[in-house]
């Protein structure tokens, strides 16, 4: 068993949590480039928190401009044991009205302009994404959200589009026909990279609008999204605070902690030492001296 170090990826302002002790912004360098921003470290009781503003403070970076690999690598280097993501989404279901928090359990990745893996030529790995989120972490987040007073729906499929434009009506109708529940632009390849880094990951999707499939609602606009997001900001911060304070005193191991044990396929003698050294944080546990 070990201590919790909870990584939180979300919008600017999410880190303004009441009671955060010893807050400090820390610059972490990554061999994969620059993360979105510095990381804010602090603690709530015995739990250390590490916050990453996904789009940078002031929302400087568009979805396709995010360096997802550097972000996850930086959280791993900061010692995170688990990661929760909070993000704005559009609803593809009548029952998922704006203001609802969906604890996502599946994804469909429709992005095409992003680096999606830490691994590649010289060091190949294939992690399982059949169950893309950590059920334990998701349950903790759902319980904390309910305690904060949020309307929580457990389970839902998140369609990740490339953006930055919103959907056409035809696309929105297509995604509904696929059985998707919410649509966003940021959780892929974030969730895939978290799995490659052996970080249990949970996604809290905050519904801000009905995308553009409903004829009786005005189509999604940034002004509408911001209005709902501001209304949800206090709930989101309270969710993180309550989750940190309600975690068990000691962290039990998760199968995700060791998922690379069965993912590396390149023979040890064929592994590229330079590629391995870039993976010193992400995969150093399994690469050993080759990653040093």
Active site residues: 209, 211
Measured CA angle at 141 (ends 139, 147), to 5 deg: 105
Q: Residue 264: which residues within 8 A CB-CB, separation 6 or more?
A: 123, 124, 125, 283, 286
- Cα–Cα distance, 215 to 182 (Å, whole number): 17
- Cα–Cα distance, 259 to 128 (Å, whole number): 8
Distance, C-alpha 17 to centroid of its chain = 19
Give SS3 for 167: coil
Q: Which two tokens stand for residue 130?
A: 């059949």
- Cα–Cα distance, 109 to 188 (Å, whole number): 6
Whether the Cβ atoms of residue 104 and residue 156 lie closer than 8 Å to each other: yes
How does strand 157-160 pair with strand 201-209? Answer: unpaired
How does strand 101-104 pair with strand 152-154? Answer: parallel
- Cα–Cα distance, 141 to 202 (Å, whole number): 8
- Provide the b/e sequence for 36-54 (b: ≥16 CB within 10 Å): bbbbbbbbbeebbbbbbbb
Query: CA 49, 55, 56, 57: dihedral to nearest 10 degrees?
Result: -90
Whether the Cβ atoms of residue 91 and residue 209 lie closer than 8 Å to each other: yes
């Amino acid at each position: 068993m070990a201590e919790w170090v909870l990584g939180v990826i979300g919008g600017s302002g999410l880190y303004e949590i009441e009671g955060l002790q010893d807050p400090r912004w820390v610059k972490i360098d990554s061999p994969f480039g620059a993360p979105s921003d510095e990381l804010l470290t602090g603690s709530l009781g015995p739990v250390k928190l590490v916050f990453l503003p996904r789009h940078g403070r002031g929302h400087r970076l568009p979805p396709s401009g995010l360096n997802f690999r550097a972000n996850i690598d930086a959280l791993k280097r900061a010692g995170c044991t688990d990661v929760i993501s909070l993000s704005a989404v559009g609803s593809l279901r009548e029952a998922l009205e704006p203001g609802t928090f969906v604890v996502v359990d599946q994804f469909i990745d429709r992005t095409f302009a992003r680096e999606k893996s830490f691994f590649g030529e010289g060091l190949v790995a294939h992690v399982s994404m059949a169950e893309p989120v950590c059920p334990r972490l998701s349950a903790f987040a759902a319980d904390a959200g309910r305690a904060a007073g949020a309307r929580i729906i457990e389970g839902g499929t998140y369609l990740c589009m490339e953006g930055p434009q919103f959907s056409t009506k035809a696309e929105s109708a297509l995604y509904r026909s696929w059985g998707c529940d919410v649509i966003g632009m940021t959780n892929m390849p974030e969730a895939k990279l978290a799995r490659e880094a052996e970080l249990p990951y949970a996604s809290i999707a905050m519904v801000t609008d009905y995308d553009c499939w409903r004829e009786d609602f005005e189509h999604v606009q940034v002004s509408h999204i911001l209005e709902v997001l501001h209304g949800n900001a206090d709930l989101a911060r309270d969710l993180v605070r309550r989750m940190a304070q309600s975690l068990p005193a000691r962290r039990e191991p998760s199968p995700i902690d060791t998922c690379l044990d069965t993912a590396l396929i390149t023979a040890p003698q064929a592994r590229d030492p330079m590629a391995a050294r870039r993976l010193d944080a992400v995969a150093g546990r399994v690469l050993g001296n080759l990653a040093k």
